[in-house]
Structure formats: structure tokens, C-alpha cells
Amino acid sequence: MNLNRKLSRCLLVAAGLLASVAAWAGLPNVVILATGGTIAGAGAEATNSATYQAAKVPVDKLIAGVPELAKVASVRGEQVFQIASESLANEQLLALAKRVAALSKQGDVDGIVVTHGTDTLEETAYFLNLVVHSDKPIVVVGSMRPGTAMSADGMLNLFNAVSVAASQDARGKGVLVAMNDELNSGRDVAKMINIKTEAFKSPWGPLGMVVEGKNYWFRLPAKRHTVNSEFDIDKIASLPLVEIAYGQGNANDTAYRAFADKGAKAIIHAGTGNGSVSNRVVPALRELRGKGVQIIRSSHVNAGGFVVRNAEQPDDKYDWIVAHDLNPQKARILAAVALTKTSDSKELQRIFWEY
């Protein structure tokens, strides 16, 4: 135990020295906000790539474990949370976004990295993309294997994320996700598989790649984000309750009614195919909409569900909203943010088209 404590102290001293050297060299200043997750996880054995405990390693140890960071940026860390991301709630989401926004306004901060568990990483990245008004690089990163595992991916992912956050050519591109050498838009990216390092993909392809610390860009995000967003985290004190109900072959209306009874302001229908709704569910959704609950049709198709308005269901007639190409969990994020400004269904549909 004493040896472990001494090693920890040495790592912290090393991290401080590396940051001092980087600052002296005039490198960009990058702040790492740590929230826990697999990238901060540890397993009992090196063969444990899927069996481990998340959110164990503090941010200073993460930084000290990648000494190469000092070559690309002057890095400092803040431990915002230390949790597995499936337990991250709206309250943490708001607190994190407010801290990112505050740091982005500081003249001595050039970029921000958020280390995050992968289970809800895509939701947090999209939320930051919607509510933080900054053109500075904001990069969300995680890992699919804990640092104790053979072929752990966290070190390189973190190096790439810091390298991107420190780069001028990443400015103005919205919140980015750096995983498996790819740079994806926080708006588009989703976790497609849970046991491979190439877990995160965008149905429309990555924005670019990172190769040996250099960014290569292929396309730009088309939807509104960050500095062009009408939403501002500094003006959001809380998020309304938005729930997701899953569509399937034997679906009934139980979940939808239960969510409404618990106070949901909107329900995302995670439908099959083109956001299809079972004929056993339609009457309940029409009834709930008549009571003021927003009904938003999304698709749970894994690699690019795309919901066309007035196809499958007469959305105009029922006053429902379609989520466009957003998966159910991202539709929940946008609905919650949008409802802080309006409850008009036409305005909400505009927002879903634009973001």
C-alpha cells in the first residue's frame, strides 16, 4: 500500500513537471475535465477488457500516464465527477456544460477535453454541442478498454483528444468526439457496439482523422451548433423531463402512459424502421398529445434511422414531431433543451430540422 502511495505521488509530481515544461515552451493551454468512465477504469487482470470497474483513476494519474501530452499542450486537469456514465443524470450534464462554458471564456484556455464513459458519451457530446457558445475546440473522449487491459485504447485516445483540442484547425467545428483515431461530430456520432475499440461511428461518416498528432479533415458539420446555437447553457437552470419508449412487435401503450403520469413533457417514440408506431399505441399517443405531451417519432435503427415526416403516420394531423436522423437518445437531449425555450410543436419541429 505504501509503495502504491509513493508511486501515486511520483506520478502527480511528474504530471506537474510536464505541465510546467509545456507551459514554458509556449504551447496551447488545454484543460481536461474528467468525469470517470472506462478511460478511468481498472480491471483485476490484463486480460479483463470487458470486465472491470469504471471510474477509478483520478485525472492527475490519467495525465501522468501519457507523458507525451507535454509535447502538444500545457495540460491541467479537473475532476468534475467520478462516475460510470450510465448513472450521469441531467444535473451532472448541466454542471459539466456550465464548467465547459466558463472555461471556454477564459483567455488562458485554448481548448477543452472531457473524459467520459462511453455509454452516454454521445448524449453529453450532443448536449455540449447545443448549449456551449464557443468556437474553441471541445473534444469528448473515452475508451473501450480500461488502462489495465492489454491493448488498452485510452492513452492514444486521450493523446489524440488533447492534440485536437490544442489545434487551431479544430476551431469552429462544434463539439468533437475523438475515438479510435477518428474525429466525429458530437451531433452525429453514436456507440454502435460495446466490445470493440471502433465502437463509435457516425452514419454519415467522420469529420476527419488524427494520425500521429496531425488532423486530417474530410467534411464539415451541416447542422447548427455551439456559436450558432440559439440555446445557451448560462440561461438554462434545469431540464424538463423527457422519456423514451421503445417500439417493438408486441408494443402496447403502458410505458407511454406511465411516463406521462410521472410528468414527462415529451415522449420520444423509439420506433421501428421509419419511426413506425403500432396501431395498438397510436390512440394513446393521440390522447397524450391532446393533454399537452409532445410526441416525437424517432427510429431505433442502429446505423442511421431517418424518420420522414408524414410517412408511416400523419404527423401533421396528429400534431406530432419527427426526430429527423437523430437516434432516440439524442432526440431526448434536443427535446429537453428545446423545451426550455418553447412548447410550440411547429417551433420544435423547426429545431429538429436545424439541429
What residue type is 7 in one-letter code?
Answer: L
Decide if 226 is catalytic: no
Decide if 120 is catalytic: no
Q: Which positions ≥6 away from 319 have C-beta within 8 Å? A: 289, 295, 345
Beta carbons of 96 and 123 less than 8 angstroms apart: no
Alpha carbon separation from 189 to 77, 229, 292 (Å, rounded): 25, 19, 31
CA dist., res. 234 & res. 236, Å (int): 6
Beta carbons of 271 and 251 less than 8 angstroms apart: no
Q: Please classify residue 306 by burial: count the beta carbons closer than 10 Å to its beta carbon, then call 0-12 exposed, 13-18 middle and 19+ buried.
A: middle
Selected catalytic residue, list 118, 148, 197, 272: 118
Query: Could you give the residue ranges of the DSSP H alpha helices within the chain?
Result: 2-24, 59-64, 90-104, 121-131, 154-165, 254-261, 282-290, 315-318, 328-338, 345-354
CA dist., res. 339 & res. 264, Å (int): 11
Coil, strand or helix at 164: helix
CA dist., res. 295 & res. 289, Å (int): 6
Q: Which positions ≥6 away from 212 have C-beta within 8 Å? A: none
Residue 276 falls in which region: left (phi positive, over 0), alpha (psi -120 to 50) or beta: beta
Coil, strand or helix at 190: strand
Selected catalytic residue, list 38, 120, 226, 272: 38
- Catalytic center residues: 38, 118
